[in-house]
Amino acid sequence: MIDELSNASLAQAPGPVPGLAPRVHLLGAGGAGVSAIGLLLEARGHRVTGHDAAGGPFVEPLLDRGLGIAVGASRAEDLPADAQVVVRSAAVPGDDPQVLAAEARGLPVLRYKQALGLLTTDRAEALAVAGTHGKTSTTWLLYEALRGLDRACPDQPASGVLGGGLHRGLGRNAAAPGPGGLMAVEACEYDRTFLELSPRGGIVTNLEEDHLDYYGTLDNLHAAFARFVAKIHPTGLLVLAADAPAFLEEAARCETWRLGREFELELHGEDRGHFHIAVRGPGWSTPTVRLQVPGRFNADNAAVAVALAVGLRARGQSASRCAELAREAAQGVARFEGAGRRFERWGTPAGIPVVHDYAHHPTEVRVTLEAARRVFPGAPVHVLFQPHQASRTARFLPEFIESLRGADRVVVADVYGARRHIDRVTARAFDIVQGLRRAGLDAVEGGDLAGATAAFTEGLQAAEERPAALVLGAGDIDSIRPTLLANLEA
């Protein structure tokens, strides 16, 4: 049903985006953001092609829509002769051969964030989800809450979404809203992307030190978030999780709700890490629903999603109508099956449950381990961790060690070197392993992904009790899936 609704929304999206030429070529088309832009532009009637150096799961939805996406080394001749504008991801450098070829032709070359700004200011009301952690899951939970409201409000335009991960049910990371519809948008702080948005409403899940390779100081990061919340329309709504800093309320020009103050999360039981929740807000409350996504943190994510969706739609409505909207929004979040690379179950080879998560910050590692303990009670938890960027690894070295101490055994792969051109501080997997060993934990330096996968497999097979396996990291560690599962089956 959800997929049918999303396909309908793709069909009703109106005309090309003003200010953007009809013929668009994407560079870095396999990235989460640019691939979503491609789906939304295609739905608006643009003719879209693209290129990506490595391909990956985000390319598949583009190919399914019939878009021509080339994979491999970039060459100037790969730029189509009829291209009118190029959209590139932040990972594509300015000296990419196709970027240079486009500039030589006099074509506009837009960054991802510029294209996002154009898309979300035309015929859509953006609801932006920001924060250090939980953006992707919360964006999809918000979309599901909005879809619930769409069912209760069939006269309203269909809602849309742009997420940073694939929806497991939809198999893609975007769905176009109807004309003037609400659109849940993952609002990333990197490259100050979220400042290109002018949202009707917003969520901030949390705010911790991160991306300082880009921002330089925590003060600069805080200033960017203050500017983000100030851009929410004065008649809109800002929803804050309980731990979001107070300065965000001072910076906002709109009404602000905080979890634990204007609205409450009620926990009504837990089933192996899956929480039964209800949400109560000003003049409305939801029935109790069971979340399909595990983890205490996802209960908070669902609560802020429901609060924003209901808070905007229930304004001026009768008590009975508010109750109906709250019920539909809660049932919407209960339908969410999860996003790709977010506590994603890969299988149970030889009786060993294997889960992958995008966790690449110490807080994310800690809460994912806590969720695994709840989902697999009593099982030893083995972790294969690929640190993401040397600068982040160095900055948070003590925190990573402390977070990983929640495991029974840890294999650390080589550090993944995303954005190497600005990675000025170095740290090694060895540093994490030594710290864990000093803390008394069984830790192994795995080396490259092949070696780390072999060491991880060996430890799982040798375990005296049947363990649970966690594969953590935001780099290319998800590429080991077929090898790891095959080795465990063997």
On whether both 188 and 309 belong to a single domain, the answer is: yes
Between CA 223 and CA 206 the distance in angstroms is: 15
Question: What tokens appear for 185 in the block?
Answer: 């948008």
- Strand duo 181-186 + 160-162: pairing: parallel
Q: Domains in the chain: how many in total?
A: 3
On whether both 92 and 142 belong to a single domain, the answer is: no
The reply to whether 65 falls in a domain is yes
Domain boundary among 78, 112, 146: 112
Residue 2's pLDDT band (boundaries 50, 70, 90)? very low
On whether both 285 and 408 belong to a single domain, the answer is: no
List pLDDT tens digits, range 60-103.
Answer: 999 999 999 999 999 999 999 999 999 999 999 999 999 999 99
Q: With beta carbons less than 8 A apart as the criterion, state whether 213 and 423 touch.
A: yes
- Looking up residue 382, the CATH number of its domain turns out to be 3.90.190.20
pLDDT, mean of residues 366-373 = 97
Q: Does the pTM exceed 0.85?
A: yes
Q: How many CB atoms lie within 10 A of CB 195?
A: 17
List pLDDT tens digits, range 91-145.
Answer: 999 999 999 999 999 999 999 999 999 988 766 689 999 999 999 999 999 999 9
On whether both 156 and 228 belong to a single domain, the answer is: yes
On whether both 249 and 136 belong to a single domain, the answer is: yes
The reply to whether 28 falls in a domain is yes
The reply to whether 5 falls in a domain is no
- Looking up residue 262, the CATH number of its domain turns out to be 3.40.1190.10
The reply to whether 7 falls in a domain is no
Residue 427's pLDDT band (boundaries 50, 70, 90)? confident
On whether both 353 and 238 belong to a single domain, the answer is: no
On whether both 350 and 401 belong to a single domain, the answer is: yes
The reply to whether 279 falls in a domain is yes
Between CA 114 and CA 61 the distance in angstroms is: 22
pLDDT, mean of residues 379-398 = 95
Contacts of 209 (CB under 8 A, 6+ apart): 218, 221, 395
Contacts of 95 (CB under 8 A, 6+ apart): none
* DSSP H helices in 174-235: 212-215, 218-230
Between CA 9 and CA 118 the distance in angstroms is: 19
On whether both 358 and 416 belong to a single domain, the answer is: yes
Between CA 59 and CA 47 the distance in angstroms is: 16
On whether both 246 and 264 belong to a single domain, the answer is: yes
Domain boundary among 317, 335, 353: 335
On whether both 254 and 309 belong to a single domain, the answer is: yes
Average pLDDT of the chain? 93
On whether both 270 and 418 belong to a single domain, the answer is: no
The reply to whether 271 falls in a domain is yes
The reply to whether 24 falls in a domain is yes
Question: What tokens appear for 378 in the block?
Answer: 């009593």
Domain boundary among 112, 144, 177: 112
* Inter-CA distances, 259 with 290, 301, 307, 314, 343, Å: 19, 10, 9, 18, 24
- The end-to-end CA distance of the chain, in Å, is 38
Contacts of 305 (CB under 8 A, 6+ apart): 138, 141, 142, 144, 145, 203, 329, 333
The reply to whether 388 falls in a domain is yes
At 426 the pLDDT is 61
Instruction: Residue 414: give the domain boundaries.
Output: 344-489
- Looking up residue 89, the CATH number of its domain turns out to be 3.40.50.720
Size of the chain, expressed as the number of residues it contains: 490
On whether both 359 and 477 belong to a single domain, the answer is: yes
